Amino acid sequence: MTFKNLLTILILLLFASPILAAEKINKFDYINMPWWKNYNDEILLGHLQTLYNNNHDLKIAEYNTKQAEENIRLIGSNQLPQVGFDGSLSRVLSGPQTEFGSVIIPEYSQNELFLPLRASYEIDIWGQNYLNRKSAKKQKEIVSEQERATYIYLTSSFCANYYNLIKADETEKILSEIISLQTQIVKMTEKKYNAGLASINELLSEKQILVKFEQDLNKIKEDRKVINSELVTLLALKSDKEIEHSNFDSISCPNTPDSLAMTIIKYRPDLISSEKYAQKAGLDVRVAKRDFLPKFFLYGNLGFNAYRWNRMFANETFLSNIGIAPSWDIFTGGAKLARFRINKYEYKKAAEKYKKTVLTSIQEVNDALVETKTAKANLIKSQEDLELEKEKHALSEKQFNIGDSSKLYELKSQVSLLLVKQRNVTYTINNVISTISLYNAVGGVDYTNVENL
């Protein structure tokens, strides 16, 4: 066989197997998800862009996905030929004499120059390497879903805190106004008490109410700082600046459906991950089964073997060989059987985990749906209560203007109206956050437009 023919065989050996590159990822389109546009808040969208660009947990999740991609390439390399160079330069020293039958070779020494290319390829007769690569693909899909889950969780947490910050800001304004009114009420009650028109209990009660409002204001200021700090951390900002946010009056949120088909849980990343893991565990069991079978390796060497540098590439120094080497582990102390059983039990665990995840997903969606219904109902009643309180205050103002009631009574009416308004702020934000919770529960999809998913 000529050198040219052997070189042709080596090239065919290298390229006859399919090139197994990792599949190109269809990256989850985080930024263009239309869901957050339903809140009609450009400031919020800007923060989410910063969150995606800066958040460390998101970057870690992204790197985990990239590692899983590289693992596919790593495992896929077993389906490709392996080529290496195993050269050697040595000095051969013989004994006093060497006998080969009647031929006697006297003592000698010489150089040996060996420059071969080595090629080997495992013939994947049983498809074990192919199944290993499929298992790695499933692992990559699992990690990708975990990355998506991280995004859903972080954006949901950020948006919930964002609206809580708006609530804290609006509540602080209302409480400041209430305290101003209550301070006037205390002063007027003191005048009544000094004039003998009010009891000491009445005066002390009004002072206690003022202290309670001041405590509430201190608490809301503390909460506001904590929420702002959490938002800064999520955005990975280096300065503890005040997070910009929209006004309370501009808040809007999507309408929530009265019911949802439970098939919507199929979009949840935890459910998808558990399904993919069960599939991966099944592949691992099949791989473990094939580990009991023999392996076959196609190997070859192509190079030169000479005793002098000036004759390194002469025709008589050329060498080559090619062959098939079977390999079969007859006894491994039970290691292969144990590995097979481990993978089999892992598959059973994965199946149970998938069933549990289905039930948990249904429960969480139902709970979130009930929460949204309750929040919406409470908001409607709160708005009704606010309208009634406004009517009562209007009557109080009329009575004061015509001299039918005192200024003190009118101030207390203003405080009552502001307290109802404060509760309305809470119910409004709770309603918004409930829609975010439902978004999180259904797996980060637009549940208001399920038919187009």
pLDDT at residue number 10: 39
Rounded to 10 deg, the angle between the 407-441 and 128-194 helix axes is: 180
pLDDT at residue number 50: 92
Stretches in the chain below the pLDDT threshold 50: 1-32
pLDDT at residue number 33: 62
pLDDT digits (tens, 9 = 90+) for 275-308: 999 999 999 999 999 999 999 988 888 888 888 8
Buried b (16+ CB within 10 A) or exposed e, 307-317: eeeeeeeeeeb
Domains of the chain: 1-30+82-123+295-327 (2.20.200.10), 31-80+126-293+334-452 (1.20.1600.10)
pLDDT at residue number 46: 92
146 touches 27 (CB < 8 A): no
Taking the whole predicted model, whether its pTM rises above 0.75 is answered as yes
pLDDT at residue number 451: 59
pLDDT at residue number 339: 93
pLDDT at residue number 165: 97
Report d(CA 20, CA 71) in Å as an integer: 12
Report d(CA 354, CA 350) in Å as an integer: 6
Q: For 169-246, where are the E strands, in sequence order?
A: none
